[in-house]
């Protein structure tokens, strides 16, 4: 299972802005970061090319528009070098390295840094959140993507084909990256929605003990998604509200579309939460209903057979003093045995009628 | 059962504004869209006539007022053509084709697009939401209604008869369409309300296992309605608050009436939610009560008959050493059998009295 | 039981402002509306006199102050006539006829219409909400009260005796009517409060299956009251905040008093909701406690007697091969019978001790 | 038990501002009100002296500062006389006599009236709220305290000793009284906190049926406290926000301290509510756990002994046709009896092993 | 267990600002307070040195920057002396001595006092909150830390090494201390998170009765943390919003980072609460599931064996009137015994088939 809490923190009191080196274990897992650069030349985007970090151009306000995509976690000295080149604030550098940031937007004097998460389900259906950091400073956009997931595969293809929008300005490009990132939540939610509907069928038809575990797993994921989605919405909202000087009116219109998407996604998560809560109620009630059913069956059986067993027990007693007229004279009666059967049948019928009257079956 | 989540989305990263073609399956299900046009000439509304999309007039601010109703989902190229003619933004076109939009209002430079949902119950009592999109640009109003449901049957009759209000201005007409759309929620809620009251009677009198499923079905629909109604209220509120330049003071007064309707409807849905929650409590408590009842019956029966069965078992034992004075001498006593009966009756009465004292029945 | 949802609505799409005629059934039930008029002449209020609607004076800003009380639902043409006379907007007329309005305040150019509900308990303790509409235009106040309940009995007596405040201005009179209307909630809440306290005693001492139904009935009424009280508070608040031009500073002070009353009443309803929730918890827990008690009794009895019954069963077997030394030789032992009794007593005591140790009784 | 709802209200429609006479029963219970007056002369506070209401000085803005404490409920004519003397508004007079007011602050032209409640636990641990009304007008402060509880015992001692702050201004004195009143909640909460902790120990170690009643009692008191504390906080907040012209900057600083106290107290009440909710969960779960335990014991016993009892029952049958080779030949076998025992022991062991495997004990 | 409520309060009515002496018991527990002073000289921080309180320099706005750390609770006269020296308001002095303050920020004319709590887990995993008070006045920062916990160990090392930021201004130093204090919550939350995950495994695999107690313990700690964290966030927010005149733009940027941390921590606590709620549901449901399982086992066993036991009981009866043809003739039949077995096997199979059909196992 995925851990809910993955922030790597310094011991309280260490200087903020201190860049943390990866543990060797983490470094191995992540592998070295790759740096992919695309430039816009003569109104066209070049293909992305892998570069070494030293080749990174300096960000200026009037230069050539370019987009650097950093896949995987860079080493501290790489990040520092990059930070110097493009003007990435030390606090933002720290947050990129630490990972597990809450989605947020930070405005520094001349640059903007947006922290997001990309949710993804692995093959076992467990939910993971990968951190995406988008930096916009001057004419340079840098995207940092931790982990191996590359959310911009489709986007890059589009960029190459120059399909859709022209993406000739930094805010345009930022919008495109944000859009691609936010839309990653849809397939995840779709899969969660499908599982809820499967569970609905399962619970209404043949609930068993594993049902509960699945339901808890769903809730867990919804808690995680919710924790990620609310601040994401807030990020987009802040971009629209507080940093609208960075966007052209046209891009703002498209940003509103992203905002609508996040609101829609949150709505859905809330509905899913309501649904899982309702499913739990159904599950508990059906458990309670079945218990009642068992209990009634048992009570009816016991109530019918216990008196009968008592009666036959009585005539299994061995009182046999031949001198006593009270020594179970019934045993010697001519009609004794049929009479006992009559009594027993009467008792049984009586009980059954009584239960029928009480509508027990 | 209806799916909660029906948004058709592009793979993350495709260019926004890309119009999605329907899958052949969807296209067959929907059938071709029909285009109905009504014009206002010499202070009267003409009848609606089916046109082909190419005949659509261009929207201008000073021309003749006209209303195009598009029933069913148009093909992408039809929508694009229409968009060019009347000034429907590509983003709005995309949302119309994708369907499953959250109710929202979008203001573009010269036009206004309102996305709503029309709730309807099918014959099996399942709730469906059909997307209605209202476009107002210049002197043209276009309404797009996905699916086969036509919400404007009564409205069109009124338009023809020129009953009620004159509807000589675009905002007037828009108001009329909004009003007709919002009021579609009332019969749905009425039906839900009736089902809640039936369920109330059912749960208080003779709850069974299907009760639960019905209750869950109700909750499901309330979740869906709620998800649709809250943003609907917001849409009407935004129209009143942010876009009041589009409405004459008189129309604004009537819009407030729609707003009141949405508030009333939401109030009702919230009360229904409270009611279903209370009904679930009642159901669970009544289950619990019945379990207690079964349990007590069983306990009383078992507590009375187990000791008796034990006693008769004792005298069914075969100790018969004639040499032993301890070999069940009771069996040979003159008063043995009556004595055992006395003991058993005493035990039974004692138990019953004890239970009576503990107020068990 | 009272229905939660009583709005009479037009089919979606009919022209707003269309006045709905009563069904013959409703008309019969309501009886004809009566119109009672009081005028203020020479600083005194005349007695209320029944008039026919045609005698209604025209509302002007400088004329004689008068109050028309309409008891029962007027016919559509009566209302239209009255509307023309005093300037009651068609939308308000529609709302009066439809009934079941959410409490709200509507300001038209020269008039103010307040919709409220008067809660009342019938003899069976069921809660009903009757619609009260207060209209203030120029020097005329009109109150429409649906149903047979007359909330102004005490108020009229006061008016006649000129007790309390002078009521020489329209806003004064409006305040007086609002005050009388809002205070109608107090006896209802008092009665609900008493029932909660009775239920508390009942649940803590001798809960039974009807308890649940009562509790549900209480919740139902609290849901209804809440749905009515929140917008009522909002109405009073709006009057104070948005329409303070209509009130003299002095009247505003008294209006604040009404506002305090509504807040107090809502507070109380919320506390009652908390109380009923807590009572349900107590009920469910006590059910659970009793179930435990039954279960333990049963378990103890079964655990003690089942082994004993088994033992006596053993010695009721008929193995009797005289040639076999293993054919239940115990039966022939001299001390056999006492020995069996000893074993049984030991088993019983052992079980009881074991249960004592586990603190089962 | 204390009633939650104690407002004495007029029949709806009586003139507001009408002073209600006490019922003879209430009057007897309350006893006559006593009027205690302290004056500030030459920079010192005199001792409080009992006066009759007619001796009350008239409030002026420049006169001698004085404080009248009214212990118990004054008669209507006493209050009216006092009201005339110091300028107490008829609405405030009505609220004082009616009692059961929600904490609130009322500003009249030249005076300020603060309604508060003083919570107190009686010897049986039941919570009572007594109404305290503080009036500040000109140089006169009047405090009305219903019931026998005197919240200012310590405060008066301090006043006499001139300890702490000088209290030379009306706002100073008002602050002092408010502080003393609000701090009365602390010991009450402390006692509630202690009971919660006792209950925690009780529920975790040996819950019984009375536990539930105690828990409900706690909840009841928390509901009452909450209903009183939220508006109290609002009162202090309003004094700071809306009426800061009445306080010197220095006093405002001290008022903020009172505000902090109310916030702290509300925080605590909310935490207590969370705690009691959690305790109820624990109680219900432990009930559920015990039920499981009983059930398992019973199931194990029954599952082991029922088959055994059946087996011994079989060999208690009396088939004895000597001619039939099928008439229970086992009974005559040489090893018959030991064989039955072997079977029975095998069955018993089998069952026990099966339960062990299923981890039932 | 830690008490939730530890405020030491005066009897209501004592003068605010009165400094409370420690009880001898408390004083012994706390030991004498130590005063550690660091000065900034020539752009470097000196080592911290223990001083006696009399050596404390007077705070001025232009003097040498210095930081006094008071570890443990000072005596009232020490605090008063210190207060005079640096300008610590009597109200703040009182709050420091009383302890148990809600996190808050108080601005006095020339100084700022921030009250925080440092959460820590003791070895038994119980949560404790220690009060930290930060005072900034002129060029002096004083930190008061109650209890033995020193949260600034790492920070002091950094100060000495002049690592990280220069800390040459008071606001810089305040920021550093706040940062160190807030970050103390991370390891606590991490440990809580780990316990939740352990509990998740425990509940899903082998819940027992102690599970519940652990879950309640977790909830308790989350209630405490929440009660501390919400106002902490508010404190940081207030510092940023209301007191931004005290911070340089640069420090404000770093303060925003602290704010982000508190928001992240609160997010986490809320997610943990959701998780524990979900875990409780799982626990209760699994209890319910197990109960069902027991119940079914019991019902199946009883339903199969009770009829069988009855049948064998029948043929254990002793009707033996040789003259009667009805005296259990079956006993004498040639095929009697096999027939009875056939019947019993048929009954048993029938029951098992019936349960299979009802999907009971």
- D313, E313: Cβ pair inside 8 Å? yes
Same domain, D259 and D327: no
- Please say which residue of B265, B286, B307 terminates a domain: B286
Same domain, B47 and B176: yes
Residue A143 has what pLDDT?
A: 93
Any domain includes B10: no
Asked if E281 and A283 touch (Cβ cutoff 8 Å), the reply is no
Same domain, C77 and C170: yes
Q: What is the mean pLDDT of chain A?
A: 82
Q: State mean pLDDT over E205-216.
A: 82
Same domain, C42 and C127: yes
Grouping H, G, I as helix, E, B as strand and the rest as coil, residue C182 is: helix
Nearest-CA residue of chain E relative to A330? E319
Distances (CA, A) of B358 to B306, B353, C147: 19, 9, 50
Range in A199-203, B11-15, D317-321, E292-296 the model is least confident about: B11-15
Any domain includes E319: yes
- D313, E309: Cβ pair inside 8 Å? yes
Same domain, B215 and B83: yes
Q: State mean pLDDT over B289-296.
A: 88
Same domain, C253 and C309: no
Q: pLDDT at residue A326 above 60? A: yes
Angstroms from C16 CA to nearest CA on chain B: 7
Q: Are strands A104-107 and A111-121 parallel, antiparallel or unpaired?
A: antiparallel
Asked if C262 and C228 touch (Cβ cutoff 8 Å), the reply is no
Report the alpha-carbon distance of residue B168 to residue B165 in Å, rounded: 9
Same domain, B269 and B327: no
Report the alpha-carbon distance of residue C73 to residue C148 in Å, rounded: 10
A147 vs D174, which has greater pLDDT?
A: D174
Q: Percent of chain C, pLDDT > 90?
A: 14
E310 vs C30, which has greater pLDDT?
A: E310
- Please say which residue of D233, D262, D286 terminates a domain: D286
Chain B residues with CB inside 8 Å of A288's CB? 284, 287-288, 291
Minimal Cβ distance to B294: which of A299, A316, A327: A299
Confidence band of A133 (pLDDT split at 50, 70, 90): very high
Same domain, C99 and C151: yes
Q: State mean pLDDT over C20-47.
A: 72
- C183, D106: Cβ pair inside 8 Å? no
- B295, C297: Cβ pair inside 8 Å? no
Same domain, C273 and C301: no
Report the alpha-carbon distance of residue C263 to residue C277 in Å, rounded: 21
Any domain includes A222: yes
- E328, A312: Cβ pair inside 8 Å? no
Minimal Cβ distance to D283: which of C285, C302, C314: C285
Same domain, E322 and E184: no
C9 vs E92, which has greater pLDDT?
A: E92
Beta bridge partners of D36: D50, D69
- C271, D223: Cβ pair inside 8 Å? yes
Nearest-CA residue of chain E relative to D329? E337
Where residue D70 sits, what CATH number does that domain have?
3.30.460.20
Confidence band of A8 (pLDDT split at 50, 70, 90): very low
Mind giving me the DSSP string for E124-172? Answer: TS-EEEEEEEEEEETTEEEEEE-SS--TTHHHHHHHHHT-SS---SHHH
- Please say which residue of E231, E266, E286 terminates a domain: E286
- A220, E278: Cβ pair inside 8 Å? yes
Q: State mean pLDDT over E232-255.
A: 85
- D275, E223: Cβ pair inside 8 Å? yes
What's the pTM? 0.80
Any domain includes E312: yes
Q: What is the ipTM of this complex?
A: 0.75
Minimal Cβ distance to A318: which of B12, B106, B316: B316
- A315, E317: Cβ pair inside 8 Å? yes
Chain A residues with CB inside 8 Å of B283's CB? 285
| Residue D144 falls in which region: left (phi positive, over 0), alpha (psi -120 to 50) or beta | beta
Q: What is the mean pLDDT of chain E?
A: 82
* Mean pLDDT, chain D cut into blocks of 10 residues (361 residues total): 46 55 56 84 79 76 82 88 88 84 84 90 82 90 88 81 64 88 87 88 81 86 87 89 82 85 88 89 86 89 91 87 82 87 93 88 72
Residue A343 has what pLDDT?
A: 93
Residue B12 has what pLDDT?
A: 55
Q: Percent of chain E, pLDDT > 70?
A: 88
- C268, D212: Cβ pair inside 8 Å? no
Q: State mean pLDDT over B250-264.
A: 85
Long-range CB contacts for residues E292-297, cutoff 8 Å, separation at least 24: E292/A287, E292/A290, E292/A291, E292/A294, E294/D292, E294/D295, E294/D296, E294/D298, E294/D299, E294/D360, E295/A291, E295/A294, E295/A295, E295/A298, E295/D295, E295/D299, E296/A294, E296/E360, E296/E361, E297/D299, E297/D303
pLDDT 10s digits, C222-241: 988 888 888 899 899 888 88
Range in A58-62, A297-301, B30-34, C161-165 the model is least confident about: C161-165
Distances (CA, A) of E62 to B113, C264, E59, E65, E177: 63, 55, 9, 8, 21
- Which is nearest to A79 in space by CA: A101, A60, A96, A67? A96
Q: Tell me the HSE value of A39 on the side-chain side, using a 13 A CA sphere.
A: 12
Q: pLDDT at residue C350 above 90? A: yes
Chain A residues with CB inside 8 Å of B89's CB? 253
Residue C30 has what pLDDT?
A: 61
Chain E residues with CB inside 8 Å of A315's CB? 317-319
Confidence band of B200 (pLDDT split at 50, 70, 90): confident
Same domain, A177 and A320: no
pLDDT 10s digits, B330-340: 888 888 888 99
Q: Percent of chain B, pLDDT > 90?
A: 14
Any domain includes D145: yes
Chain B residues with CB inside 8 Å of A202's CB? none
Full residue range of the structural domain in which residue B323 is found: 296-357
Any domain includes A4: no
Q: State mean pLDDT over A104-111.
A: 85
Same domain, B311 and B241: no
Nearest-CA residue of chain E relative to D299? E298
Domains held by chain B: number: 2
pLDDT 10s digits, A13-59: 555 555 555 555 555 556 688 899 888 877 778 878 888 888 777 76
Any domain includes B1: no
Q: pLDDT at residue C28 above 60? A: no
Residue B164 has what pLDDT?
A: 43
Chain B residues with CB inside 8 Å of C338's CB? 326
Confidence band of A135 (pLDDT split at 50, 70, 90): very high
Q: Which phi and psi angles does B131 have, rounded to 5°?
A: -85, 130
Asked if B187 and B149 touch (Cβ cutoff 8 Å), the reply is no
Report the alpha-carbon distance of residue C206 to residue E285 in Å, rounded: 28
Any domain includes B246: yes
């Amino acid at each position: 299972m995925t851990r809910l809490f993955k922030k790597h923190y310094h011991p309280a009191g260490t200087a903020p802005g201190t860049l943390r080196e990866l543990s060797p274990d983490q470094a191995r897992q992540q592998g070295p970061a790759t740096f992919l650069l695309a430039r816009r030349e003569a109104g066209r985007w070049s293909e992305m090319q892998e570069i070494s970090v030293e080749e990174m151009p300096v960000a200026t306000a009037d230069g050539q528009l370019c987009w650097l995509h950093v896949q995987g976690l860079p080493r501290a000295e790489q990040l520092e070098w990059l930070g110097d080149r493009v003007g990435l604030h030390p606090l933002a550098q720290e947050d990129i390295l630490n990972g597990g940031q809450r989605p947020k937007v930070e405005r520094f004097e001349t640059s903007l840094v947006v922290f997001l998460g990309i949710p993804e389900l692995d093959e076992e259906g467990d939910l993971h959140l990968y951190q995406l950091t988008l930096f916009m400073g001057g004419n340079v956009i840098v995207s940092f993507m931790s982990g191996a997931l590359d959310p911009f595969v489709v986007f890059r293809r589009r960029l190459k084909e120059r399909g859709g929008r022209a993406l000739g300005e930094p805010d345009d490009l930022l919008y495109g990256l944000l859009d691609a990132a936010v839309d990653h939540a849809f397939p995840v939610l779709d899969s969660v929605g499908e599982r809820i509907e499967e569970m609905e069928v399962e619970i209404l038809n043949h609930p068993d003990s594993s049902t509960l575990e699945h339901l808890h797993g769903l809730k867990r994921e919804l808690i995680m998604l919710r924790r990620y989605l609310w601040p994401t919405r807030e990020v987009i909202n802040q971009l629209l509200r507080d940093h609208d000087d960075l966007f052209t009116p046209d891009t703002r219109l498209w940003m509103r579309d992203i905002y609508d998407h996040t609101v829609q996604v949150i709505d859905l998560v809330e509905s899913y939460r309501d649904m899982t809560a309702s499913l739990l109620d159904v599950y508990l009630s059906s458990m309670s209903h079945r218990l009642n059913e068992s209990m009634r069956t048992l009570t009816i059986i016991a109530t019918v057979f216990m008196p009968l067993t008592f009666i036959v027990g009585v005539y299994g007693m061995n009182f046999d003093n031949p001198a006593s007229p009270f020594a179970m004279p019934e045993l010697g009666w001519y009609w004794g045995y049929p009479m006992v059967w009559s009594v027993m049948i009467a008792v049984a019928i009586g009980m059954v009628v009584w239960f029928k009257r009480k509508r027990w079956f």
